[in-house]
């Protein structure tokens, strides 16, 4: 519980200057093989580890990426895992700042800024485009999963309308025509998916069948939508949900109403969350490759920081449909 060892302590023990120790510990050229050996030995004996806050201050560079996320989101969890991995690989540290019931996006971002993160990765930010643009004027910002129309914000997202189109094509290929859509609520992402549904149906000549049921991004929302659809006299033969949790709620409602999935009604989700992969859920869904998104996002930040990129960049990945057991012929 005493003071942890400092650079001085290691230096004193070896009998060299702190400069030498610092160089050795960071693998910088200069020190002789013999010095290296002795320093490393002493450092190990003392259990020395550099104080990151001090290093950050002394270096011009901080090598810190700030990530804003919603800790309750399983999708964000997947992204964070990959962001961490990628950051590790290229020698950046990651600071996590989560939204909570008592902590909004502003607070979360401020925390990140106070730590002087060199760049911000925002997972599905909800702030207005202008606010994001203003932020981006201070520090490189990359928005993941959410399009930003104005300002110098980098964007990494998947083409939501394409994903929904693929889902529709799959169902139409099975002969479905009455295909409903369960909405994901307000928010830029949900809007894109909704648009994808509308456009897709029109293109397929099914404009008359367009039917959008309100929903959100919880199982609860799915349940409610499911009840609505079950009760209707003109029940659809297939439903596309704006996200997996909603789809799971839907399936549950159908199951309880005695409707067989996919026998009597097909269901498609969106996100390919771990949920969807569970054997008993076995949901056909759209995968947006979080690993790839994470990689691109980290890359975007690093390009700004280390390679002097100045121009806005937008990476749009193509999602792909994962066909599982919740869809079948009409």
User: In angstroms, what is the C-alpha Rg of the chain?
Assistant: 25
**Torsion sign (Cα): 157, 161, 164, 166:** negative
Stretch that binds a second copy, among 125-133, 157-165, 187-195, 219-227 (CB under 8 A): 219-227
Q: Is 153 helix (H, G, I), strand (E, B) or coil?
A: coil
Number of H helices and E strands in the chain, helices first, is: 13, 12
DSSP string over 161-227: HHHHHHHHHHHHHTT---EEEE---SSHHHHHHHHHHHHHHHHTT-GGG--EE---SSHHHHHHHHH
Query: Per CB under 7 A, does 18 bind DNA?
Result: yes
**What spatial distance separates the first Cα and last Cα of the chain, rounded to whole Å?**
68
Strand residues in 72-111 grouped as ranges (E): 93-99
Contacts of 99 (CB under 8 A, 6+ apart): 68, 69, 70, 71, 105, 108
Asked if residues 228 and 257 have their Cβ atoms less than 8 Å apart, the reply is: no
**Residue from 1, 58, 231, 279 in contact with DNA (CB under 7 A):** 58
90 lines the binding site for a second copy (CB under 8 A): no
3-state secondary structure of 321: strand
Q: CB of residue 209 vs a second copy: minimum separation in angstroms? A: 27
Which range in 16-24, 104-112, 205-213, 265-273 contacts DNA by CB under 7 A? 16-24
We find the least distance from the C-beta atom of residue 47 to DNA, in angstroms, to be 12
Q: Is 56 in the site for a second copy (CB under 8 A)?
A: yes
Toward DNA, which CB reaches closer, 22 or 158? 22
> Could you tell me the CA-to-CA distances from 267 to 6, 186, 290 in Å, in that order?
60, 22, 22
Size, binding site for a second copy by CB under 8 A: 53
| Sign of the alpha-carbon torsion through 111, 114, 120, 125 | positive
Binding to a second copy by residue 260, rule CB under 8 A?
no
Task: Compare residues 18 and 98 and give the one whose CB is closer to a second copy.
Answer: 98
- With binding defined as CB under 8 A, does residue 223 bind a second copy? yes
User: Quick one: what does residue 279 bind among a second copy, DNA, none, with the CB cut-off 5 to 8 Å set by partner type?
Assistant: a second copy
Q: Determine if 52 is a binding residue for a second copy (CB under 8 A).
A: yes
Q: Which of 1, 2, 27, 60 binds DNA (CB under 7 A)?
A: 60
User: Would you give the binding string for a second copy spanning residues 116-135, x where CB under 8 A is met?
Assistant: x-------------------
User: Which parts of this chain interact with DNA (CB under 7 A)?
Assistant: 3, 6-8, 16-20, 22-23, 25-26, 28, 30-35, 50-51, 54-55, 57-61
User: Which parts of this chain interact with a second copy (CB under 8 A)?
Assistant: 1, 4, 49-54, 56-57, 62, 71-72, 74, 77, 80-81, 84-85, 88, 93, 95-98, 100-103, 110-111, 113-116, 137-140, 218-220, 223, 249, 252-253, 255-256, 274, 278-281
């Amino acid at each position: 519980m005493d003071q942890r060892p400092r650079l001085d302590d290691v230096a004193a023990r070896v009998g060299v200057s702190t400069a030498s120790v610092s160089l050795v510990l960071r693998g910088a050229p200069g020190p002789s093989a013999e010095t290296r050996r002795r320093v490393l030995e002493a450092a190990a004996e003392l259990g020395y580890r550099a104080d990151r806050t001090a290093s950050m201050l002394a270096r011009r560079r901080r090598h810190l990426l700030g990530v804003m996320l919603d800790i309750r989101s399983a999708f964000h969890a997947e992204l964070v895992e990959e962001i961490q991995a990628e950051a590790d690989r290229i020698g950046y540290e990651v600071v996590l700042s989560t939204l909570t019931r008592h902590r909004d996006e502003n607070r979360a971002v401020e925390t990140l800024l106070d730590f002087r993160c060199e760049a911000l990765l925002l997972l599905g930010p909800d702030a207005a485009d202008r606010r994001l643009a203003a932020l981006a004027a201070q520090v490189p910002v990359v928005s993941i999963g959410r399009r930003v129309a104005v300002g110098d914000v980098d964007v990494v997202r998947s083409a939501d309308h394409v994903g929904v189109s693929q889902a529709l094509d799959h169902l139409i290929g099975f002969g479905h025509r009455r295909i409903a859509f369960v909405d994901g609520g307000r928010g830029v992402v949900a809007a894109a998916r909704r648009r994808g549904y509308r456009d897709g149906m029109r293109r397929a000549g099914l404009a008359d069948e367009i039917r959008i049921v309100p929903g959100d991004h919880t199982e609860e929302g799915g349940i409610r939508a499911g009840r609505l659809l079950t009760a209707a006299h003109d029940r659809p033969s297939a439903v596309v949900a704006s996200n997996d949790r909603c789809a799971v709620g839907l399936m549950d409602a159908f199951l309880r109403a005695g409707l067989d999935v996919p026998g009597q009604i097909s269901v498609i989700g969106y996100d390919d969350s771990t949920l969807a992969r569970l054997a008993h859920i076995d949901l056909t869904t759209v995968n947006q490759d979080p690993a790839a998104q994470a990689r691109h996002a980290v890359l975007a930040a690093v390009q700004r920081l280390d390679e002097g990129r100045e121009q806005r960049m937008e990476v749009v990945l193509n999602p792909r449909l994962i066909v599982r057991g919740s869809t079948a012929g009409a």
